[in-house]
Structure 1
Amino acid sequence: MPTPATATATATPLTPTAPLPFPFPADDRELSPHTGLTRAHWEAAADGMLRAALRYATPGHGLIDLPGPPSRSGVRSDGLEGFARTFLLAALRVAGAGGADPHSFLSRYTAGIERGTLTPGRDDAESWPLIGHHGIQGQPMVESASVALALRLTTPWTWKKMPAAARDRTEEWLRGALRHTPAPNNWYLFPLTVAGFLESVGRGDAETARAIERALDLLEGWYRGQGWYTDGDGRAFDHYNGWALHLYPLLHAHLAADRALLDHLGPRLREFLEGFSLLFDADGAPIHHGRSLTYRFAAGAAVALGALTGHTPLAPGATRRVLSGSLRHFLDRGAFTGHGVLSLGWYGPHEATLQRYSGPGSPYWASKGFLALLLPPDHPVWTATEKPAPSQGPDRVLALPAPGFLVQTTGRDGLVRLHNHGSAKIRPWEGERAPGDPLYARLAYSTRTGPTSAANTPDNHICLELRGLRSSRLRITPLAAGPNWLASSHIPVFPDGGPVLPAARIDSLTLARGSMELRLHHTVNVPVGTAVHHSGWAIAVAPGSAAEQEDGAGPAGELCLAGAEVTGRLLPLHGWRSSAVRRAPQGTAYGPWALVPELTGAVGEGESGAVFASLASLTGDPDAPPLAGLATAEVSGPVVTIRWPDGGSTVVAFGGGPDGRTPRVTGETA
């Protein structure tokens, strides 16, 4: 192998600590040595968020028109979204305080409900839009669930104080969610939530019963094991598993005191949290993977739900550590504007983090992260001394074959990586069209890096290049799993008008060992001479900070990109001919400009296809040594032997099993 050619980049801090947007109590480092946050801080954050949002309410409080670009659903729907999602936050705040409402939040929301439902559908300054089918004025169905859940949590102080006519109008508006078709995914839980509320106030009937039964039946069909649900048919696994698919049905069961449903769904939540709790960095960041990431600390909703229902493997101090760490992470990094409003993005505004349905009120699904306020002040989650986060323990690798995730944590830096060999946002009936969604299609994600945009060089990607076009990784098929490895397969898909390769596929395997990632790829039925590209972690850096190589000009040596918080490395082991650093000028959620290391090779002769091997790493340790010398690869046909410096070896044989493509891994894997 040629002498490694290292390209190094340095940067200024990505996200300097931002001033706190609300008045806060002093940190309590005795009770909460890691984050300083207590229940009082959570209440202060809720109060600050509500006061900031309510400044944008319409005169009758029926809508909250937060500043920002409209979603595809339009300004009126966005105003309802701002109302409904902040109403949920107010409900959690007041219900958690036993009805105490010193800032009179609920009276403003109750007035808003009465005004918004007075003439629904009318084009005026206050009226709520009617609920329609998904794709035809469907977004209000999403918001109906927040309205219904907030009313259910605050019934004594809202619903019971509303005039009878206003209650009737509100019921009629809510029933629109029961009478129209949801999106074919977690949306079916919104009618369940509406129906649960109506039944809780004595307005249940056959229509509400059907909505609940339908949702629970679908939920069973979406369950894949290890606590993971797919978000609708297919294999879309992401944060919706926690903040929707567990949250709505289990919270309904808890509020209804439905012991049978709690006993059925609760153990799934417990099992889910065993792995999911590892997906929070020591600095509090949730894993940056999947859609709707602008909801941010809503990622902690399932953690709080576990404590609320008693279905959690976490000690109370660890529960608060995860929750408070996530809230603190975004408070400190500028997620709020100077006026205390959540921005559309991750830290500050970031367009690539958003979806077409994202509007100014969308980030306030972060309200779900305040679910722990339903725990009384004397609950151990609030009184126990804060413990380290699960990711702060010994180095761990956890294989989750059900969703196709390999979770890798390193205790020295508290960094979390998620290797994706199973989650893809493609329905069974949908065709595969390039490019892939960056938030699903990449090989790996982390808590300190974000994927590059679809318009830039993809990070953590494997692709072919023919006729000047590069392929995408879209539908991902899991193949096999071991204690610290996962394998999957995909069909390389080129943009419309590009080549179509009959029976071609790429089988991929990731094996995690400490902070290292062994990445193996086996091309099958790919024409000889086809170029193959493989990229590593995208590192947010300051423009002009890198000693960059020209595309393809560098020898196939180790690439190192050092950012402000992380260092990414990529080392070729077999099959690669050149290395280069690519620019990603649209940046990532972690910085406005980024670089991506990339290796390039070509498919050679051989009936069994070509094998490509590399080592990668992402670390927050600035003194981490280079990867060179930490492993060597010997390849014979589809069999790869990796030799480690401690004398151990790992053998990976591609192309086995009855299907002819299931890899087999033997030898040292720890």
Structure 2
Amino acid sequence: MTREHYIELAKYMLTRAFKYVDSIETPLTFPIIPGKTYPQPNAPNWRYRSAEFEALERTFTLAGPLIHVDPEVEINNIKLRDYYKLHFYRTFTPGNSNSLPLPENLPDSNYQFTCEFGGLFKTLLLLPDTVWSLYSESEKNDMLECITKWAHHRTTQNNWRIFNIVTLSFLKKHGYPIDDDLLKSHLLWVASYHSGDGWYLEQTYNYYSISLFIVYTTIWNRTFGDDYYPEIGSIIEESAKKLMKCITSFFGRNGYINMWSRSICYRTWVSGAFPVAFMLKEQTELDAGWARRLCSGSLLQFVSREEFFCNDVPSLGFYGQKEYMVQNYSCSGSPFLMFLPFICLALPEDSPFWTATENEGMWETLGEDSNKVVLKHPGLMLVNHGKTGTSEIIPGKVYYDDPNYSKLTYNTHFPWEDQNPLGGTSMEYSFRSQDPRDLRGDDVNFYLTGLTVDNDSEENQRYTTSQNMLFNGVENDILYRQAIMRRPPNNGVGYIIDLADITIPGGVIRVDRSRLAFEYELTLGHFGLPHLAGKKAEIKSFELNGNQIITAKIEGRQVALISYYGWDKLDCMTHNNRNAEADESSVIFAYKKRMQKNPPMELMITALLHKTDDTEWTTEELSPIKNFQINEISATMSPLGATIELNNEKKYEVDFKDIDGKKTC
């Protein structure tokens, strides 16, 4: 994709959006989607104002760069520059039907308005020539009270401070008075969240660390921070440079982005890191042709699919409208934040981002090997599989049971599925207690203390997934983590699965140790396969070299699960309304049930493989492990490990020595 292609794509997306605009006087609103997103029926008026502002501001993510490139650009015979100038003015001045309330007219709290102010003034800092320069001094003064009060208003923790920073900075840059101490305080708070490797803490580690903490703040740096806060700006600059060393590993060979973390409907907003790389002070090490290839590929992943659209605008989902994967803070206009990469149109035409020839970077020489990047500070491992063209995110620091974060692995070409209370959840260990105390609804400590806690016997009969994921480091090319299957007070140390990942081309060898203290059932699911066009996945079960194998296949994608040790059987389930691509899907999984009152620790050895073609599995592919040996006591005096020898002659010693003392979260 060239610069002209980006311009045409922006026009195409806005043409679909502006079908809801009859004339320059018509506010931009999109149909409300029933479900958990806002505004809900009978919501207060300010929620409708918020949704209108969000649609206006987030479509400006496309319109602003277009106006910068061509001030006369029109969509559906409406001049964009005049349209947005008029409606931002009406939004920020009292007396209009869609003007925003002031903070003092609402209960003292944080509101979505703050987020949208940050998005707008980030764009206006970068591209002030789009609309701000068109206002008269009188018009600017009319808007000033609203902008100033929201800029100074209460914010929420970490990433939201960036929205206040951007808005306050815009005001100061244009000569309006602000609370300088408040601005500096927000800046110091944001800088304090840097955790290492270019990553920032944001509830748990996620894409916000890239899109807000790097993209927004780099724009702030170039347009304001360099002149006013150079020392704090240097912190941001250094973290951005570190991030650029790993950013390409988040994307598949064809540019696909991974469905991971919350705010899934923002999709490609992380691709905004690619043009930002060419806004840094020092020349980036990032290959410009590869950067544009990945940026372009991530956009084409969605805009080339008609099912991506709902009511002619990007749907509230990933590939299509899916209720389960969106948050209640989203509305119909929210997905337009995915077009953050269009800040690339702010780059000059002679920028390397535009002049370099697109290429596939590392993938051109990777062959069938797998490239790994370990980010120990956010507890992530990134894997690029040359054999399949897919990229994976393997998380290690997760604070709660949320499928946005808690999966064992996230793959660019096998989007995650929602959790299944019947077990067989994709890419998760699913646990169900068979402890009679749980089935009765007792507190496990009742007979010791006489005290009770709320223990729901019906809830205990459902399968649950890990409540926490802990990162324990990488040793001898093995990633160690822990899945905590229950929280206190019912946890103690009796609900732990110690995880060891050995990356192989097109998959992983799992050597995991169950430390589950009481009666239980357990499943380990593979990636889910959608039933596209109503066609079910093809499932095969068979034995090879004494090992049980189950495979699943749809056109262009396949998965295989091999059980080597520690499982009772392999099986498959059909899931409904859990997959990102289809209403029905198949998940193959391993299953075990242990009914001893005091089950022993056990190793579970499996291989989970994937393909992105239709070729038949070969015997060699389905035989990644040549030999394995269970070590009751390892050479380092640790209980229950294993020696794994692969068919490529590589040997691994899986050793959980002192794993509990190495946990980080």
Same fold (TM over 0.5): yes
2:13 maps to 1:49: yes
2:408 counterpart (440, 443, 465):
443
> How far apart are the structure 1 equivalents of 2:310 and 2:259?
24
Report if the CA contact (8 A) 2:249-2:373 is conserved: no
The separation in 2 between residues aligned to 1:591 and 1:283, in whole angstroms, is 22
Task: Report the Cα offset of residue 136 of structure 1.
Answer: 4.5
- Equivalent runs, 1:618-657 vs 2, <5 Å: 618-623=610-615, 624-625=617-618, 627-631=621-625, 632-637=627-632, 638-656=640-658
Cα distance in structure 1, aligned partners of 2:498 and 2:310:
48
Decide whether aligned partners of structure 1 residues 135 and 408 sit closer, same or farther in structure 2, where only a CA change above 3 A counts. Answer: farther
Structure 2 unaligned regions, length at least 5: 40-46, 435-460, 633-639
Q: Distance in 1 between matches of 2:103 and 2:341?
A: 26
SS in 2 for 1:245: helix
Q: Give distance in 2, aligned partners of 1:134 and 1:515.
A: 53
**Separation in structure 2 between the aligned mates of residue 572 and residue 479 of structure 1, nearest angstrom:** 25
CA distance in 2, matches of 1:412, 1:610: 32
Kept after mapping to 1: 8 A contact 2:540/2:550: no
Q: How far is the alpha carbon of 1:607 from its aligned partner?
A: 9.4
Which residue of the partner structure matches residue 314 of structure 1?
286
Partners of 2:628 and 2:662 in 1: CA distance: 21
1:245 to 210, 213, 216: 213
Within 2, Cα distance between the matches of 1:519 and 1:535?
A: 12
Query: In structure 1, what residue type is equivalent to 2:38?
Result: R
Instruction: Indicate the SS of the match to 2:246.
Output: helix
Partner amino acid for 2:523?
A: H
Distance 1:480 1:135 in 2: 43
Matched, 1:190 2:146: no
For residues 107 and 284 of structure 1, do their structure 2 counterparts lie closer, same or farther at Cα, with a shift above 3 Å needed? same
Cα deviations across residues 481-514 of structure 1 (Å, max 9, x unaligned)? 24743222232128x9x96565432221212122
Deviation, structure 1 residue 612: 1.3
Cα RMSD after superposing both structures: 3.0
Q: Secondary structure at the match of 1:469?
A: coil
Aligned to 1:14: none
1:610 partnered with 2:610: no
- CA 1:482/1:224 → structure 2, altered by over 3 Å: closer, same or farther? farther
The one-letter code matched in structure 2 to 1:90 is A
Q: Deviations over 1:240-278 (max 9, x none)?
A: 111111112221011124454454322322221222211
Is 1:420–2:395 an aligned residue pair?
yes
Q: Percent same amino acid at aligned positions?
A: 19
2:320 maps to which residue? Answer: 348
Out of 168, 171, 177, the position equivalent to 2:150 is 177
Give the residue type in structure 1 aligned to 2:405. Answer: Y
Instruction: Give the conservation status (yes or no) of the 8 Å contact 1:397–1:484.
Output: no
Q: Name the structure 2 match of 1:474.
A: 467
Contact 2:275/2:353 (<8 A) preserved:
no
Of 298, 305, 309, which residue of structure 2 is paired with 1:333? 305
Aligned to 1:139: 112
Distance 1:559 1:594, change over 3 A: same
Secondary structure of the corresponding residue to residue 508 of structure 1: strand
Residue in structure 2 matched with residue 559 of structure 1 by the alignment: 550
Look up the equivalent residue of 1:614 and give its one-letter code: T
Aligned: 1:568 with 2:559: yes
Q: CA deviation at 1:102?
A: 5.8
> Cα–Cα, structure 1 residues 571 and 311, in superposed 2: closer, same or farther, change >3 Å?
farther
Relative to 1, partners in 2 of residues 1:241 and 1:77: Cα closer, same or farther, differing over 3 Å?
Answer: same
* Matched AA of 1:199: K
* Contact persistence 1:655–1:661 (CA under 8 A): no
CA 1:152–1:266: 2 relative to 1, 3 Å = closer
- Contact 2:531-2:582 at 8 Å conserved across structures: yes
- Runs of at least 5 residues in structure 1 that lack an aligned partner in the other structure: 1-36, 427-431, 664-670
The alignment partner of 1:441 has SS state of coil
Is the contact between residue 475 and residue 491 of structure 1 (CA under 8 Å) also seen in structure 2? Answer: yes
**1:48/1:340 contact within 8 Å kept:** no
1:378 corresponding residue in structure 2? 350
Matched, 1:91 2:25: no
Cα offset, 1:372, TM superposition: 0.9
CA deviation vs aligned residue, 1:183-239 (integer Å, no higher than 9, x gap): 32311110011011111211143x1x334323322223322211111214xxx1221
Residue 111 of structure 1: aligned partner: 86
The 8 Å contact of residues 278 and 391 in structure 1, kept in 2 or not, is answered as no
In 2, the alpha carbon distance for the partners of 1:577 and 1:336 equals 40
| 2:359 paired residue among 384, 387, 400 | 387
- Going by fraction, where is helix more abundant, 1 or 2? 2
What residue number does 2:329 align with?
357
Report deviation, 1:290. 0.7
Alignment CA distance shift 1:607-1:343 (3 Å) = closer
SS at match of 1:558: strand
- Alpha-carbon separation, structure 2, partners of 1:87 and 1:481: 43
Shift of 1:331: 2.0
Distance 1:134 1:477 in 2: 38
Residues 525-536 of structure 1: matches in 2 within 5 Å?
Answer: 526-527=517-518, 529-536=519-526
Q: For the residues of structure 1 that align with 2:308 and 2:592, how far apart are their CA atoms?
A: 44
Q: Which residue in 2 is equivalent to 1:301?
A: 272
**In 1, distance between residues paired with 2:483 and 2:94?**
51
Match of 1:126 among 98, 109, 119: 98
Which stretch of structure 1 is more off in the superposition, 368-377 or 332-341?
332-341
Q: Tell whether 2:372 aligns with 1:397.
A: yes
Cα 1:662–1:647 change in 2 (3 A) is farther
Distance 1:135 1:578 in 2: 56
Distance 1:538 1:412, change over 3 A: same
Q: Please identify, of 561-570 and 601-610, the stretch whose mean Cα deviation from structure 2 is larger.
A: 601-610
d(CA) in 2 for partners of 1:91 and 1:41?
Answer: 16
SS in 1 for 2:614: coil
Give, in angstroms, the shift of residue 382 of structure 1. 0.9
Is structure 2 residue 571 aligned with structure 1 residue 599? Answer: no
Alignment partner, residue 539 of structure 1 = 529
**TM-score, normalisation: structure 2:** 0.83
Contact (CA 8 Å) 1:322, 1:389: kept in 2 or not? no
Contact map agreement 1:567 1:620 (CA 8 A) in 2? yes
Q: How far apart are the structure 2 equivalents of 1:523 and 1:579?
A: 18
Structure 1 pair 369–354 and aligned structure 2 pair: CA distance change class (3 A): same
Is 1:270–1:311's contact at 8 Å kept on the other side of the alignment?
no
Following superposition, the deviation at residue 538 of structure 1 comes to 1.2
The number of aligned residues is 600
- Secondary structure in 2 matching 1:67: coil
What secondary structure sits across from 1:82 in the alignment?
helix
Instruction: Provide closer, same or farther for how the CA distance between residues 308 and 100 of structure 1 changes in structure 2, counting only shifts above 3 A.
Output: farther
Aligned counterparts of 2:213 and 2:267: Cα–Cα separation in 1: 17
Cα distance in 1 for partners of 2:521, 2:24 equals 62
Shift of 1:420: 1.8
Partners of 2:629 and 2:644 within 8 A in 1: yes
Report 1 or 2 for greater relative contact order, CA contacts < 8 Å, sequence distance ≥ 6: 1
Q: Give the direction of change, closer, same or farther, for the CA distance of 1:523–1:189 in structure 2 (3 Å limit).
A: same
Task: Give distance in 2, aligned partners of 1:392 and 1:242.
Answer: 26
Asked whether the equivalents of residues 125 and 220 of structure 2 are also in contact (C-alpha less than 8 Å), the reply is no
CA deviation after TM superposition for structure 1 residue 409, in Å = 1.3
Instruction: Identify the residue that residue 51 of structure 2 maps to in structure 1.
Output: 78
Tell me if structure 1 keeps the 8 A contact 2:497–2:512.
yes
**Paired amino acid for 1:376:** P
Give CA-to-partner distance per residue, 1:561-596, whole Å, 9 cap, x none: 112232111111211111110121114213332111
For 1:127, the aligned partner's letter is S
- After superposition, what is the alpha-carbon deviation per residue over 1:378-410, rounded to whole angstroms, capped at 9, x for unaligned? 222112211115455413122222222221112
AA in 1 matched with 2:653: V
CA distance in 2, matches of 1:607, 1:211: 57
Query: Which deviations, in whole Å up to 9, do the C-alpha atoms of 1:276-326 show, x marking residues without a partner?
Result: 211111232101111112112222101111112256321111111111111
